[in-house]
A and B are shown apart, each in its own frame.
Chain A
Amino acid sequence: MAILEVKNLKKEFENLKIIDNINFSIESGEFLILFGPNGCGKTTLLKLIAGLIEPTSGDILLHGESLKKKLNHLHKIGFVFQEDRLFPWKTVYENLNIIIEHFFSDEREREVIIKKYLNLVGLWNFRDYYPNKLSGGMKQKVALARAFAIEPEIILLDEPFGALDIYSREKLQDETIKIWRETNKTMIFVTHNIDDALKMGQKILLLSKRPSKILKIFHDVSKKENIKKELKNIMKDYENL
């Protein structure tokens, strides 16, 4: 059964249509890419899934149950933003600790979890550092660890490498794939970067410009060259508009 289903989802802000009738579902453990141009409503879609905002109409089902009915605290979703958004006044360790505190009440259990995920991104030795002492790539790794550490079923990533240089970006791509394989989480990754899309995903959902609709779904990403051509053409169209 699908872990997450999006059904006839629509979202308007003050009569401006952002999302127009989107339908898709995602299987447990799947790595889904939402590919679309800037400003097409990808972030809005993620926020809807995260439960930060409510749809104008339509529904999102988690394990077959509507998000509207779900008790807020049961809706455990990891979120990686474009910027790291680590609290600068907390050390790396504390940044994870205060987030997972109300999901795991036992302090020793929390330490085990934090150690596990900081080790996964190779930053356990930096646990007592403040974020201002870390590079952009390292900070984003901590943000990644934070999203995994609450042990959610779904992790949403909103152009998480957008602010990084090419070198850090490639490293983070590999790192994310590695963690995904090890933890078997369901991932929804939003990007307008063709490279990200082809390297990371198992399935690519192509979104139109605003109001967002699904133009096409690539179920098989093995024929990378073909998809790349198609995505490039579409991006060109977007730019011409």
Chain B
Amino acid sequence: MKQKNLIEKFHIPTFIVVVILIILWWLASLKFGRYLLPTPSSVLSGLVNIVISGVIWKHVLSTLFRVILGFIFAIIASLIFILLAHKWKNAKIVIKDFNSILNSFSVFVWIVLALIWFGITDSAAIFTTLMITLPILLSNLLEGLEHIDKRFLEVGSVYKLSKLDEFRNIILPSLFPSFIGGMRAGFGLGLKISVVAEMFGVTTGIGYILNYSREILATDMVFVWAIILILIMILIDKLIFETLTKKVKKWQY
């Protein structure tokens, strides 16, 4: 029993597969050459180098800055829209329809438009993140709005809760579980998309440095930055979204 727990806790099977894949990767890199497939050791040393030189922070922080800012704007906007949708039936119809339209926009359209409108600035990536994550958050919130328990709202009106208190204490907590789901998916996509947006124009960020590494034929650095991107993703998911999910699990039935 104890042994089984250990195996599950440290993901030992995954670990073994990763080791095998690294060996295969190493063998393949010997065959294809370092431009097509750099060796695992050169990727590792590249990673160590940028950590020691501090280059890593410049790009990670500017990417995170853009994604988080765009994401926060999307959260605020989605909450405002959901408040309106809750208050007015007609607003809900409009918001739902526009959400479907936003949902079917291509990521690339936003990137191109952002470049036209904002040029070579942080704003382009921030705007793209906002426009891509907003419909994801909003879809989850709208879905949650349909499932709010009317009986709780009745408690609110029996005890004369103000509209603000009702929104704070009944509507928002009711939406919270589906909102976390939306945030999790939205943030993941936002990070992936803003990296693409960074390939155009700006001179910092993981997207920029990835593309730059390709241009100077440093394929090992492409691998390094890809790995960093994955690590950021996992870290934020564990640190922020899993904590939020645990919080909800505490009271959920």
**Contacts from A to B (Cβ < 8 Å):** 50, 52, 72-73, 75, 77, 79, 81, 83, 85, 87-90, 98-99, 101-102, 130-132, 150
Q: A81-B155, A85-B151, A90-B169 are in contact. Are A102 and B253 (CB under 8 A)?
A: no
Contact of A132 among B162, B169, B251 (CB under 8 A): B251
List residues 230-253 of chain B with CB under 8 A from any CB of chain A. Answer: 250-253
In the assembled complex, the Cα of A79 lies from the Cα of B174 at a distance in Å of 22
6 examples of A-B residue contacts, CB within 8 angstroms: A72-B160, A79-B158, A85-B155, A89-B251, A99-B155, A130-B250
Known: A87-B170, A88-B252. 18 other contacts (CB 8 A): A52-B154, A72-B160, A77-B158, A79-B158, A79-B159, A81-B155, A83-B151, A87-B152, A87-B169, A88-B251, A89-B174, A89-B176, A89-B251, A90-B173, A99-B155, A99-B159, A102-B160, A102-B161
In the assembled complex, the Cα of A165 lies from the Cα of B161 at a distance in Å of 32
User: What residues on B are CB-neighbors of A150 within 8 Å?
Assistant: 159
User: What residues on A are CB-neighbors of B165 within 8 Å?
Assistant: 98, 101-102
Cβ-closest chain A residue relative to B170: A87
User: What residues on A are CB-neighbors of B162 within 8 Å?
Assistant: 102
Residue B41 at the A interface, CB < 8 A? no
In the assembled complex, the Cα of A131 lies from the Cα of B154 at a distance in Å of 18
Cβ-closest chain A residue relative to B151: A85
Q: B151–A81 contact, CB under 8 A?
A: yes
* 9 interchain residue pairs of minimum CB distance: A89-B173, A130-B251, A79-B158, A99-B159, A89-B251, A88-B251, A85-B155, A132-B253, A98-B169
Residue B14 at the A interface, CB < 8 A? no
User: What residues on A are CB-neighbors of B152 within 8 Å?
Assistant: 85, 87
In the assembled complex, the Cα of A131 lies from the Cα of B252 at a distance in Å of 9
Number of interface residues of B (CB under 8 A): 20
A-B pairs under 8 A by CB, number: 52
A contacts with B: majority SS: loop
Q: B160–A131 contact, CB under 8 A?
A: no
Q: A88-B253, A98-B169, A102-B165 are in contact. Are A73 and B151 (CB under 8 A)?
A: no
User: What residues on B are CB-neighbors of A83 within 8 Å?
Assistant: 151
In the assembled complex, the Cα of A143 lies from the Cα of B112 at a distance in Å of 56
List residues 141-168 of chain B with CB under 8 A from any CB of chain A. Answer: 151-152, 154-155, 157-162, 165
Chain B's nearest CB lies how many Å from the CB of A89? 4
Q: B252–A132 contact, CB under 8 A?
A: yes
B contacts with A: majority SS: helix
Chain A's nearest CB lies how many Å from the CB of B155? 5
Chain A's nearest CB lies how many Å from the CB of B151? 6
In the assembled complex, the Cα of A79 lies from the Cα of B156 at a distance in Å of 11
Chain B's nearest CB lies how many Å from the CB of A2? 22
Chain A's nearest CB lies how many Å from the CB of B51? 41
User: What residues on A are CB-neighbors of B253 within 8 Å?
Assistant: 88, 132
In the assembled complex, the Cα of A73 lies from the Cα of B158 at a distance in Å of 10
User: What residues on B are CB-neighbors of A90 within 8 Å?
Assistant: 169, 173, 251
Chain B's nearest CB lies how many Å from the CB of A181? 24
Chain B's nearest CB lies how many Å from the CB of A156? 9
User: What residues on B are CB-neighbors of A99 within 8 Å?
Assistant: 155, 159, 161
Most B Cβ at <10 Å: residue of A73, A75, A85: A85
Chain A's nearest CB lies how many Å from the CB of B246? 13
In the assembled complex, the Cα of A98 lies from the Cα of B158 at a distance in Å of 13
In the assembled complex, the Cα of A98 lies from the Cα of B193 at a distance in Å of 41
User: What residues on A are CB-neighbors of B176 within 8 Å?
Assistant: 89
User: What residues on A are CB-neighbors of B173 within 8 Å?
Assistant: 87, 89-90
User: What residues on B are CB-neighbors of A102 within 8 Å?
Assistant: 160-162, 165
Contact of B160 among A73, A85, A87, A132 (CB under 8 A): A73
Cβ-closest chain B residue relative to A50: B158
In the assembled complex, the Cα of A1 lies from the Cα of B162 at a distance in Å of 32
User: What residues on A are CB-neighbors of B251 within 8 Å?
Assistant: 88-90, 130-132
User: What residues on B are CB-neighbors of A85 within 8 Å?
Assistant: 151-152, 154-155
User: What residues on B are CB-neighbors of A50 within 8 Å?
Assistant: 158
In the assembled complex, the Cα of A130 lies from the Cα of B158 at a distance in Å of 22
In the assembled complex, the Cα of A77 lies from the Cα of B157 at a distance in Å of 11
In the assembled complex, the Cα of A79 lies from the Cα of B165 at a distance in Å of 19
In the assembled complex, the Cα of A87 lies from the Cα of B159 at a distance in Å of 13
User: What residues on B are CB-neighbors of A98 within 8 Å?
Assistant: 161, 165, 169
